[in-house]
Every structure is written in structure tokens, then in C-alpha cells.
Structure 1
Amino acid sequence: MATFSKSNVPQFSVEVYQNECLPEGGREVNAIVTVTATGGGTTGGVAPLARTDTPARTDTGTGPGTGPGTGAGATERAPDAAVVIMVDCSGSMDYPPAKMRGARDATAAAIGTVRDGVAFAVVAGTHQAKEVYPGGGRLAVASAATRSQAKDALRKLSAGGGTAIGTWLRLADRLLGSADVAIRHGILLTDGRNEHESPEDLRNALDACAGRFTCDARGVGTDWEVKEVTGIASALLGSADIVADPAELTADFTRMMESAMGKEVGDVSLRLWTPQGAEIVFVKQVAPTVEELTGRRTDSGPRTGDYPTGSWGDESRDYHLCVRVPDAGVGQEMLAARVSLILPDAAEGGGPRPLSQGLVRAVWTDDLAASTSINPQVAHYTGQAELARVIQQGLHLRKSGDIDGATAKLGRAVQLAGASGNEGTAKLLAKVVDVVDATTGTVRLKAKVTEEAEMTLETRSTKTVRVKK
């Protein structure tokens, strides 16, 4: 394990868990890489990474280059972050009216959580995107005055029109792009399906925004499309969840904003180097959620590729990588991969900066016990990835009327959830199936399942539990 640190940047560490022993003829090396960021100077409500070239802000007003930390005369440096809240204001938000009220209250609570000096804006989303606050293509800079003004502006929000989420994201991108900050984040709330633009329009918008800002997405009620909301969060490296009861929006939005305010460094990449003749089979995040990263590779040099991980605060994540290496004889060993955490644009204007590094090895042996032993971390997360997959497959089969197929898949999900200690997922599964025997995965589909239960299980299917070390 190696660590690198820099003032104002969290210390990143990399730990590699693997069975490095391969049998004769073995070529695939699996490893779990645990990345941990600590000690960046923030936990929750403390300021994130500040730019050293940004002068102290002492005035009031709006725009990414103006505004105070705490009002006139403030000398505190502003945190290096910007956030845009996108609120669904389509006609369906008025059915029932509690949804629109909940959205206004939740957005106000989130604004109240934005720390002084952070640039922010609010966007109303229908079949088009409209700036609610501050307007004029600008971002406000959070202070007591601007937070109060933004909350006043929320009172004007009303429901009416359609839903075209791609336009909301593109406006958020333009607003966030106007700020010279390290961390750009969006929060998106919707209650319905994206019916007023094509799937290709939304996909193009996501492709245009990917890598430019992260985004947490929430579905309120049960009339929205799970794959749309989770697809947005996945493409933009954020979280997705269901808020079935509008009364719970305020608490959820507050937690999301507090998490966003805890980010200290943005655009960290997982860089993988492999030797001549080796290739990456797959790379995926496996904790706290399962997220496929293989197709997001960007070549960064000879035999090296970068995979985006988004913004970081004080936190830990696990990644599963599989490397195919050239065949070698018994007794031979090689470096199968070098894993580095990279900050692509160092704050001081230099080139990419390594934050931490770990090594994945391969050793060929004729010791059968050594080569067939499965590393506990690899086994655990292989099961967690399968758990997410079989839940989604089982729900799809249930919707299509394949009772036997759905029962088999969801039974396997119950078995995996129980074996791995994933109690949260086990409880969600119990709302969809009657569990006869969790150990063997014997279940019966419930005759009646609420839409909320089914959507919650599907939305949270990728949430994992950490391996017990």
C-alpha cells in the first residue's frame, strides 16, 4: 500500500486484496482494490478544497466570481464548489399537491445546507428548463442574503407542462461550467417519465454532461421510470433513490446536500497500467454500490487507461478488477497491474498528480490448495454483483409474466443477500417474495406487491454491504 498527500487534499490510500496464485495455464487475475480518502479537512459541514489562487471574497452579490463567505467584510476563502438543484415542475407534480409542496420545502432545506461561499442555482424543469434563481445565466454565491433570496424565489414554483430531463441537465451544465471551481454537482428530482424528449435526446445530454459534473437523482412517488433515474445517476457518477412519500423529501435533500458539501476534491481517476500482453477484462465499483466502469476507460498513455471515480470526501470505496495475463510456467511471477489514483489537473497548474498506488501480482504455482483458494473480498463482491444482477433479472421476468424464472432469480437473490449479510436488501426482497428457506433460496412470489416495494427493490438493488474483514 502506498499513500500520497498534499495540503488541502485528502490523503488517499490503496489496499489490494487478491489471491495472487494461479494454476499452470491460469490467466485471469481478480483483485479488490479498496480506496480510502481521509483527513482532507472536511467531514460533513466543513469547507471543501479551496483554490489557492482565488482571492478572498468580501462583497455581496451573485455570479461565480463575486459574493461573500459571511457577508460584507468577510475574509474567509470560499469553498471550491458549485451546485445546481433541478426541480421537476411538470403538471404531474400537482397530483397530489403534496408533491409540489414537498419539493419546494425540500429545495429550501437543501439551500439552507449550502455553505457560505459555494456557488449555487435552482432550475425548474418541465418540457424546458428555466432558471429560478439567481437567473441571467449566473450562479449565486451562498450567504445568508442569497439563501434567503433563493427561498423566496421558490414560492413562485408551480406545476405545469411536460418532462424533458435532458434540457434540465444541459442548463445545469451551462451554469456549472460558468464557475471556475474544482467540484461541480447537481441534484435532480423528478416524479414522472421523460415523455417529452426521445431516449436518444436524454442519452446525448448525459454523454455531453458526463465528466463535467456529478449528479444525484431522486424519484418521488411511484410514477417515474426506475431505469431513467438510475441511468442518470450512473452516467453522472451520483446516487439514485426513491422517495415514495413527498413528506420525506426534506430529510433526503438535506442529506444529499450535506454529502455534496463534504466533497473535497473532484475528478479523481483510477489509472490502470498493465504489462505487455496483459489486458483489462473489467473494472467495476462494488461498494457502496455496483457501478460498471469498463466502458468508461480513457487511454492515458502506453498500456495505461483512466476510469472516472468522480468527487471524493472522507470516504472509502471498493473496486473489482479482472486482468487477463499471458500464460507463464510454474514458478514464474509478474506484475499484473499497477493501480493509481490520479488527480488529472493539479491545483497548482502542473500535470496529473498521483494520489496513491497499489500493485496486483500474478504467481504461477502447482500447489492446488494455493491456486484454488478464493480471496474472501473477491468472493464477497462477486456475490454482491450477482445479487444486483439477479434482482434486476427477476423483477423483469416477473413483469413479463415468467413466474418460474422470476421465482428462481429472486430466490437466488434471497440466498445471496442472506449469505453476505446484506440485511437491507433482504428486507426489501421480503416485500416481493415469501421466503421459505433463505439458505437454499426457496421462495414464493407474493400474489400482491405494491408498486412502491417493487420500485424500491429495483432502485436499491445495486447497494452493497462491505465485506467483513
Structure 2
Amino acid sequence: MSRTPDLGTEPEFRVEVLQNPCLPPGGGQVHAIVNVSSRGPESVDPSVRACEVIIVDTSGSMYGEKIEAAGRAARAAVETLRDGVRFAVIGGSHEARMIYPRDERTVELDASTRAEALEALRGLEADGGTRMGVWLTRAARLFEGVDGIKHAILLTDGRNNEMFDSFEEVLRRFEGAFVCDCRGVGTDWDVEELRRIDSAFLGSGPDIIADPADMAADFRAMTRTSMSKTVADVALRLWTPKNSIVRYVKQVAPTVQDLTERGVERVPMARDYPTGSWGTENRDYHICVEVEPGAPGRRLRAGWVRVVLPGPTPEQDRIPASGNILAEWTADEDRTTGIHTRVAHYTGRVEMARAIQDGLAARRGGDEATATTRLGRAVELAHGAGDEETQRLLGRVVDVLDPSTGTVRLKPGVDKVDEMTLDIDSTRTVRTRPRMNGRVGDGTPGPV
């Protein structure tokens, strides 16, 4: 969405390209890790426009402790919002009911509307089915015409009741219209469903709240993070030379998100890949470009990466930072065989995530041979990377006989929380929510 830059509130961006540019004669595949960092003001200026929509599952399965905890969590989120932002609260079942305000609109938060919302969130009732596409559609309507940061929190405890095609159509229609962070409470929801929502709306990765008592702290942390953002709709623009092919563009930290198919051509010979809203943070992207092979001694700019703050027209776009992806052909094997350590690290992380997801899916489907092989490969990769946290989580699903070779045996009985936590964490390469016994922590960052 086009935006008018507000130079006083935008973060300062930096781009660093990490790669080995050297290719052998005949080689054409160029890999690079593009690190994008931003540093914003210590406190967010009140002039930064933002809108928050809180979506709480109020279906029949939320009855009892969960619906009470959900009400407390939503109140914690409202209490954390800063004055001046716009907000609304939706109760989700087979329909999307406005909890606050009562009609379909957002309101500006002040002392009066905050008090009204807190009161409206007391005594929530659980009834009906679960149609997440309906919830997201109403949220998208609430965000229409809103400028600035657009963020939603979605909480559920169950599986979506909609037809698969209908749900996917909603995700396609509103893809990237706002940022949405998803949470599942308990163990009866589907990780892959929330992962699809997270991917479509550029979230920070779905997560599990095993104990409803932890819900309020997690909502407070998500809202605090949302309120720290200062610029929306940031894009990563990739220019590549004629006759080249972009093999992929993936966010690889803090979570894995494949952006390859999300690129749009806003200017000639380049594609803009959406990255959502930014505050003070650090993200890594793995870019692979196929260029025409060259002879020894030839040098080429294989890619030009720019951070873009879109204006009303391409001519009014702002480019606060950029970097070059290079290619250089040489017959020196010592220079061409080395893979940059960051490229190797994230290549392994993506493979490990796929191995974990494949292994868990095979285990659920009763294919023990495939589950053992794939989870064993994940153990081997985690051991090789020195990733103790993933090794610990894998150790709750398999008995590790030899981590260096990935020799494992499936555990006969696995706690559902442990299985879901492993699945969720497979795509998280920088942990921002440390866990203790499956519980969400306080939000203190901690690199893998």
C-alpha cells in the first residue's frame, strides 16, 4: 500500500550482503545472505499511525477456563495499546461478531474507549463453530482505508471448519493487507492452518500457548512489539540483470518465510518482495540468482538489493539502504569451493525445518520408517549446527542413539505439546520467546 513518508519517525536502515562471489567457469548460481537491520527511536512518536484488531476465538470449544483467559488476554492487549491508535475487537466463531465497538469500525483509543473496551471484554461467551476465513475477512474490512501500521492478533483453540478452497481464497484475496500474529491455545488446533495464515499476513510465526494462564502475558508482549513498529509496508526490491532467473527469495531469520512468489514488478527489471512493518530489528534473507555463466576474470553485479519505502508512485519511493550481490568467475578452485558461513548456516536451517515437518507428518500418518529417517536427519543437522534447543525438543519425540549420524528411534508415546512445539519451532531461527516446559517466556531475544 502506498504511504506518505514521515521522516521523523522512520527507522534508519542498513543492508549488508554476505556471500562468496567466486564462481567456477561455467557456474551461474549466486547465493547471498542479505542482512537488513533497522534502528528506530527509543520511544515511538505519538504521530505514528497504527491500527490493532484483536481476534478472539469464541467458539463452543473455548467454554470455561479458555474463554475466561481469552478475555483477560484481550484486556491485557487493550491495556498495552498506546493512546491515539485505532483498534477493534472481534469475537470469532462461525461468524465474526464485533465485541468492541459494536458496529463494524475501528475507534481511536483514549481513556474513554479503553474503559468501554475493557468492560465489553468481561463475560465473553463461547458458542458456535470455527470459521477463520470469516474472521480474517472482517478484520480486512476494518483495516480498509487505514494508513500506517496494521496489525492483528488471532487466537484459536481449534481447527478451521471452512472448506479448504474457501479458506485459501480468503488468504489469497487479503494476502499482505495487514500483519497477523497467530496463537493456538491447547493442543486441538492445527499448526499448518495457522502457519498458512502467518505466511499470508507476514506474521512472526505461529506459537502455542499450552497453559491458558500464560495467555495474557503473551498478548501483552505481542501488543508491545506491534506498538514498537514505526514504518509499514516496507519492501525488499531485487534488481537482476537481463537473462537472469531469481531462484528464490527467503526470509531466514528470525523465522523462515518463502517470499519467492510474492514479488511484484513495480519498476522495470526488478521485483518488490513484501516484508511488512519494521521498528528496531534485524532480519536475514537468502537470495539465489541464476546468471549467465562467464569466463575467468569476468565480474558482474548479479543483484541489486534495495530497501524500499513505497510512495504514491514509484518515482516517490524512498530507498534508505541498498547493497550489491556480486559474481566473479575464476579458475582458482580454492576461491570457488568455499561457501560463506552464513549461507551454509541458513541452508542447513531450512533443510532442518523441512526434515522436522516431514518427519512429524509421517509420524502422524503412521509411516514410521519415513518419520525415523527424516527426524534422524533433523537430529544430525541440529547436532552439526550446535543447536542445543532444537536437539532438546527433538529429544522429546525421538530417542537419540547417535546424534552425529542421525541414528534415532521413535518414542512410543509423545506429549502433544512437545510435538506441536517442535513443529512450530522448526521455522524459528532466532528465538524471541524462550520456553520453559512448553510455556511462552517473557519475550527476551535469544539467538540460536
Confirm or deny that 1:255 pairs with 2:256. no
Q: What pairs with 1:68-147 in structure 2 (closer than 5 Å)? A: 77-94=46-63, 97-147=64-114
- Post-superposition offset of 1:178: 4.1
- Post-superposition offset of 1:30: 0.2
Residue type at the aligned position of 1:464: T
CA contact (8 A) 2:68 2:124 kept: no
Q: What pairs with 1:54-73 in structure 2 (closer than 5 Å)? A: none
Q: 1:165 aligns with which of 127, 132, 139?
A: 132
Deviates more, 1:448-457 or 1:14-23: 448-457
Confirm or deny that 1:234 pairs with 2:231. no
CA contact (8 A) 1:422 1:465 kept: no
CA contact (8 A) 2:68 2:123 kept: no
Q: 1:111 to 1:367 in 2, by over 3 A?
A: same
Give TM-score, length-normalised by structure 1.
Answer: 0.88
Tell me the distance in 2 between the aligned counterparts of 1:169 and 1:29: 38
Confirm or deny that 1:191 pairs with 2:157. yes
Which secondary structure does the structure 1 equivalent of 2:371 belong to?
helix
- Post-superposition offset of 1:397: 1.2
Confirm or deny that 1:7 pairs with 2:4. no
CA contact (8 A) 1:78 1:118 kept: no
Q: 1:468 to 1:241 in 2, by over 3 A?
A: closer
Residue type at the aligned position of 1:170: T
1:77-97 Cα shifts (integer Å, max 9, x gaps): 543100000000000001xx1
* 2:436 aligned partner: none
- Post-superposition offset of 1:417: 1.5
Tell me the distance in 2 between the aligned counterparts of 1:465 and 1:141: 34
Q: 2:121 aligns with which of 150, 154, 157?
A: 154
- Post-superposition offset of 1:424: 2.5
Give TM-score, length-normalised by structure 2.
Answer: 0.92
* 1:312 aligned partner: 278
1:434-459 Cα shifts (integer Å, max 9, x gaps): 11222222211111001111111112
What percent of counterpart residues are identical? 49
1:215-265 Cα shifts (integer Å, max 9, x gaps): 001111111111111110111000311111111111111111111111110
- Post-superposition offset of 1:350: 6.8
1:15-44 Cα shifts (integer Å, max 9, x gaps): 000000000100100000000001x214xx
* 1:289 aligned partner: 255
Tell me the distance in 1 between the aligned counterparts of 2:380 and 2:372: 12
Q: What pairs with 1:338-377 in structure 2 (closer than 5 Å)? A: 338-345=304-311, 351-377=316-342
* 1:216 aligned partner: 181
* 1:27 aligned partner: 28
Q: 1:419 aligns with which of 374, 384, 387?
A: 384
Which secondary structure does the structure 2 equivalent of 1:300 belong to?
coil
* 2:264 aligned partner: 298
- Post-superposition offset of 1:145: 2.2
1:256-302 Cα shifts (integer Å, max 9, x gaps): 11111111101000100011121111110000011101011111222
CA contact (8 A) 1:290 1:463 kept: yes
- Post-superposition offset of 1:137: 1.9
CA contact (8 A) 1:137 1:175 kept: yes
Tell me the distance in 2 between the aligned counterparts of 1:418 and 1:228: 29
CA contact (8 A) 1:92 1:191 kept: yes
Q: 1:350 to 1:335 in 2, by over 3 A?
A: closer
1:384-432 Cα shifts (integer Å, max 9, x gaps): 0001100001111111222122111111111212222333222211110
Tell me the distance in 1 between the aligned counterparts of 2:344 and 2:111: 50
Deviates more, 1:170-179 or 1:364-373: 170-179
Unmatched runs of 5 consecutive residues or more in structure 1: 49-76
Confirm or deny that 1:336 pairs with 2:302. yes
Which secondary structure does the structure 2 equivalent of 1:306 belong to?
strand
- Post-superposition offset of 1:133: 0.5
- Post-superposition offset of 1:109: 0.6
1:354-397 Cα shifts (integer Å, max 9, x gaps): 12100000000000010011110100000000011000011111
CA contact (8 A) 1:191 1:224 kept: yes
Cα RMSD after superposing both structures: 2.0
Residue type at the aligned position of 1:437: D
Confirm or deny that 1:429 pairs with 2:394. yes
CA contact (8 A) 1:422 1:464 kept: no
Tell me the distance in 2 between the aligned counterparts of 1:375 and 1:136: 55
Unmatched runs of 5 consecutive residues or more in structure 2: 1-5, 432-445
Which secondary structure does the structure 1 equivalent of 2:382 belong to?
helix
Q: 1:465 to 1:130 in 2, by over 3 A?
A: closer
Confirm or deny that 1:404 pairs with 2:373. no
Tell me the distance in 1 between the aligned counterparts of 2:111 and 2:383: 48
- Post-superposition offset of 1:213: 0.5
- Post-superposition offset of 1:144: 2.4
Deviates more, 1:398-407 or 1:245-254: 398-407
- Post-superposition offset of 1:183: 0.8
Tell me the distance in 2 between the aligned counterparts of 1:424 and 1:115: 35
Residue type at the aligned position of 1:37: S
* 1:41 aligned partner: 41
